[in-house]
């Protein structure tokens, strides 16, 4: 494995963690999105990551897609004053757990930071090799 492949692999990891953070941001932003009881609730998004050329040392990871992790039924809440309330006074909210989203956000942030640290260390190593090779 070369320094450049380390940078490439860490870059793919940073991209996957960024996409994960984007999905978490969407989930948190829609946690209080009310819908009429006749419509589906917002569904929690999850990022699916997969290895690229696993075991070759040159692959990294990529986003294979997204999945909807919560039920479209959500949870019914009695809010007769809400403009979206049905005749019985109910509106539909998503079934997204804020505590779980915050935990996932911390994990995604740490993964993103770790991948950027690998890129930074590889860059420093490359620069040191150039200084050595240049006789400095």
Per-residue pLDDT in tens (0 to 9) along the chain, 136 residues = 566 778 888 999 999 999 999 999 999 999 999 999 999 999 999 999 999 887 766 688 999 999 998 889 999 999 999 999 999 999 999 999 999 999 999 999 999 999 999 989 988 888 888 888 776 5
Instruction: Using alpha carbons, list the distances in angstroms from residue 55 to 51, 61, 109.
Output: 9, 12, 25
φ, ψ for residue 55, nearest 5 deg: 90, -10
Give the domain extent around 106: 3-133
For the chain, the first-to-last Cα distance in angstroms comes to: 26
Note the pTM of the prediction, 2 decimals: 0.84
Q: Residue 135 has what pLDDT?
A: 62
The confidence score (pLDDT) of residue 58 equals 66
Instruction: Give the per-residue pLDDT at 134.
Output: 74
**Rounded distance between C-alpha atoms, residue 66 and residue 44, angstroms:** 10
Report d(CA 131, CA 126) in Å as an integer. Answer: 9
List the one residue out of 33, 54, 51 whose CA is nearest residue 42.
33
Which pLDDT score is estimated for 1? 57
Total domains present in the chain: 1
């Amino acid at each position: 494995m070369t320094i450049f492949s380390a940078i490439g692999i860490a870059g793919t990891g940073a991209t996957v963690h960024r996409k994960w953070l984007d999905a978490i941001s969407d989930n948190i932003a829609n946690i209080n999105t009310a819908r009429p009881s006749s419509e589906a609730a917002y569904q929690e998004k999850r990022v699916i990551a997969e290895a690229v050329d696993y075991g070759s040392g040159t692959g990294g990871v990529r986003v294979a897609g997204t999945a909807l992790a919560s039920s479209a039924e959500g949870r019914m809440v009695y809010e007769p004053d809400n403009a979206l309330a049905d005749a019985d006074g109910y509106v539909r909210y998503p079934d997204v757990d804020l505590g779980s989203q915050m935990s996932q956000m911390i994990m995604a942030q740490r993964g993103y930071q770790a991948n950027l640290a690998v890129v930074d260390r590889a860059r420093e190593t490359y620069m040191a090799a150039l200084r050595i090779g240049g006789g400095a």
